[in-house]
Amino acid sequence: MSLKLENVRYAYAAAGVDALVGVSLAVDSGQFVAVLGPNGSGKTTLVRVALGALIPLAGRAEIDGTPAADWKRQELARVVGVVPQREDNLFPQRVRETVLLGRYPHLSLWGQERAEDHAAVQRALGACDVTHLADRWVWTLSGGEYQRVRIARALAQEPKLLVLDEPGVSLDLRHEMGLFELVRGLVDKQGLGVLMITHDLNLAARFADSVLLLNEGRAIASGAPAQVLTRHVVESVFSWPVVMQTIDGRPQMIPLRQEPSA
Ligand code: ADP
Ligand code: MG
């Protein structure tokens, strides 16, 4: 399975400027790609184009060689798991039912859940450390607990590609590290392909095979973390002074205090 953007341009109808200009990206099986960039740089738009929810004005977006927008949504849902940045409708549901929804693309119309569906749900609940919450109503969960349930729902799908938009938001240290370790493990052991949007430059640098840095809808740099995340590039894209260090051969960023004005 692969996901590919080639030279994509996209502009929202109401907007005066392009949201994406000439952006290319490829995610293959067994590869973890992180997308970084300031607020409004086009990260979520890139994911929408990659999944065929938006059609590029120029360039191409393909999943396994077929234009993303041409995929039947149910067939796409069998192979691509998605954790969107936001979800507004909180159905009156228990956690277990919510995660079971991830199995629906695999069921025939009106199909009964099978033992393997319940087993996949159980594995996903465990992987995201929410087994103890299985019988809770979703609206009673904390932000971080709900986030882990949404990730569990995507994992229950047992996708070949996983697309996550800022999944680490509201997770505590252990659960955020746990998420990155989990995703990395799925990539290495099961050959999952992962596209993850994140604001955590350091975790992206530690865990991803390659990073794409966006700014104002354009790809500033892409490639191995050590090649992309240099002090000069990070400072100019995020407009903040930083220093870079190295841990386990990966660049790590420490933001500096602003210089006092003279
Ligand atoms: P990011 O995810 O990097 O924060 P987005 O891809 O959500 O950025 O947005 C990129 C730009 O497109 C922003 O300027 C944003 O305001 C704009 N934008 C996003 N969605 C819409 C929309 N539905 N209509 C008009 N402009 C939009
Ligand atoms: Mg976004």
Closest to 71 (Cα-Cα) out of 85, 97, 51, 96: 51
Return mean pLDDT, the chain.
Answer: 95
Identify the weakest region by mean pLDDT among 10-19, 93-102, 111-120: 111-120
CB within 6 Å of ligand 1 — which residues?
Answer: 12, 14-15, 19, 37, 39-45
Name the one residue in this structure whose structure tokens are 């892409």: 222
Ligand 1 atom nearest residue 165's Cα: 2
Rg (CA), the chain: 19
Per-position b or e across 101-128, b if 16+ CB within 10 A of its CB = ebbebbeeeeeeeeeebeebbeebbebb
Interval 108-128 mean pLDDT: 89
pLDDT of residue 127: 96
**Amino acid at position 202, single letter:** N
Confidence check: pLDDT of 110 > 70: no
> Tens digits of per-residue pLDDT, 4-53?
999 999 999 988 899 999 999 999 999 999 999 999 999 999 999 999 99
> Tens digits of per-residue pLDDT, 205-237?
999 999 999 999 999 999 999 999 999 999 999
pLDDT of residue 260: 75
How many percent of the chain have pLDDT more than 90?
A: 89
pLDDT of residue 103: 92
Ligand 1 pocket test: pick from 18, 23, 45 the residue with the most ligand atoms within 8 Å of its Cβ.
Answer: 45
pLDDT of residue 109: 63
